[in-house]
Each structure stands twice: as C-alpha cells, then as structure tokens.
C-alpha cells in the first residue's frame, strides 16, 4: 500500500463541484457531473496526506457495488468489513458494499495509458478482489456527503457491477467477513455500514422511508 506521505491522488477543486451543482447525498444525474468533474483541465494530483485534510478539494473515488441477481431468489450484494490495513483509518471496522479507492498519479504513468481514471479503477478492483465470473459495469450515480469528516474531502462515482455468478472473493487480507448477502439483510443492519454504503443502500436498494 502506498505511503500516504508520498502517494499523489486525483482531486478536483470543490468550487468546480459547486459550479456544476452541489448536492448532499446521492445523485443519479451522471451526464451532468461525471465528464465535468473528470475534465483534465480541472483535475490535478496532490499528496494524499494533504488532500485528506483540505476540503477545498474533493478526491475522486470510484465506488463499485457487485450485485448478483438470481431469478429464483432475492438480489444479493457483495459486502465486507474494513480491516485495519485498509487505507482510510476513519472507516476501519465499518461494513461496506463499495470496492474502490483513490486514483493515483502512478495510474497515469503506465505505457499506453490514455485514461488514468479507468486505469486506476481497474487497478483497484484487481488489487482488492478475485473476480471469477463475467460481469457488466455501469455508472449509476454519485455520492457527496459533507456531513462527515471523511465525506468533506471525497466524492464518489458509483458503479453497479452485475455478476453472472456470486464468485467474487477478497484478495486483500483486510477485506474481512466478505461475501454476498440478500439486500433485505443489509438494509436491516444499515447502521453498521460506512456512510457512503448507507447512502447507496437507501438510494439504490431501499424503500424510500428508510
């Protein structure tokens, strides 16, 4: 895992996000936000330890949710508990349905790389999981949470990955108690999840009253 003092991560000015249109919680307005936030004219790479403390910038984070929809039973999501070795200390011991992480300046340095963001997304999935099933991926929304310390310096771009079989396993030892669980069980235990997962469960999978 990169040293936080030396890792440089992809950020966008918070004022750029506000210029496009500030929101709190979840937005499905993908066309409005994604291209504008990822525009290289506005993004840069900053030392991660500095970015974690500077709300003038938002770190752009792909947040991937794996779903298995068995036609004979309730849809299931991949979930896990964050161990102490996961990078964001403020989220340790929290449950999560999201896989992903920071886009690093190293993602822009590979030979033939023309989209560092996509390269970083693929790298994060490969580092964290063994995916032994075909899947299709689509962007379903964005998360912003200015009500928490972590959320004030991050902005999530959410992807739903529909898998052919529930054959997804952790590659990292700090992805704990991992596996697919029925959506109803996850929603019933909402408070055990990190805030971003709570937001996604409510927006994408839960009844409006939760």
Residue-wise DSSP of 142-173: EEE-TTSTTGGGEEEEEEEEEESSS-EEE-ST
Confidence tier at 5 by pLDDT (50, 70, 90):
low
How far does Cα 166 stand from its chain's mean position?
A: 20
Q: Over the stretch 138-185, which tens digit does the pLDDT of each residue have?
A: 999 999 999 999 999 999 999 999 999 999 999 998 899 999 999 999
Q: Over the stretch 83-132, which tens digit does the pLDDT of each residue have?
A: 865 454 454 578 999 999 999 999 988 666 689 999 999 999 999 999 99
Find residue 143's DSSP bridge partners. 26, 156
CA 23/CA 30 separation, integer angstroms:
13
Assessment of whether the complete model's pTM goes beyond 0.85: yes
Per-residue tokens: 11:
């950020």
Per-residue tokens: 199:
């937001």
Q: Over the stretch 13-66, which tens digit does the pLDDT of each residue have?
A: 999 999 999 999 999 999 999 999 999 999 999 999 999 999 999 999 999 999
Q: Where are the alpha helices (DSSP H) in 38-150?
A: 48-51, 116-128
Q: Is 83 left (phi over 0), alpha (psi -120 to 50) or beta?
A: beta
Structural domains in the chain plus CATH codes:
8-205 (3.90.79.10)
What's the rounded mean pLDDT across residues 184-190? Answer: 94
Per the CB < 8 A criterion, the answer to whether 196 and 145 are in contact is yes
Helix (H, G, I), strand (E, B) or coil at 50: helix
Per the CB < 8 A criterion, the answer to whether 107 and 113 are in contact is yes
Q: Where are the alpha helices (DSSP H) in 28-78?
A: 30-37, 48-51
163-177: buried (b, 16+ CB within 10 Å) or exposed (e) per residue?
A: beebebebebebbbe
């Amino acid at each position: 895992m990169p040293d936080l003092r030396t890792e440089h991560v992809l950020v966008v000015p918070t004022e750029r996000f506000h210029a496009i249109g500030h929101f709190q919680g979840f937005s499905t307005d993908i066309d409005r936000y994604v291209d504008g936030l990822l525009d290289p004219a506005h993004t840069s790479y900053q030392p991660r330890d500095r970015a974690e403390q500077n709300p003038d910038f938002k770190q752009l984070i792909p947040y991937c949710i794996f779903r298995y929809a068995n036609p004979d039973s309730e849809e299931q999501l991949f979930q896990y508990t964050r161990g102490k070795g996961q990078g964001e200390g403020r989220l340790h011991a929290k449950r999560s349905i999201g896989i992903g992480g920071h886009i690093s300046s190293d993602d822009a340095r590979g030979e033939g790389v023309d989209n560092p963001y996509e390269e970083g997304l693929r790298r994060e999935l490969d580092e964290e999981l063994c995916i032994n099933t075909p899947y299709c991926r689509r962007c379903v929304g964005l998360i912003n949470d200015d009500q928490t310390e972590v959320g004030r310096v991050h902005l999530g771009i959410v992807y739903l990955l529909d898998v052919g079989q529930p054959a997804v396993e952790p590659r990292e030892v700090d992805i704990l108690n991992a596996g697919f669980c029925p959506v109803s069980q996850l929603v019933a235990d909402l408070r055990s999840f990190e805030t971003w997962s709570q937001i996604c469960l409510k927006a994408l999978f839960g009844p409006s009253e939760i």
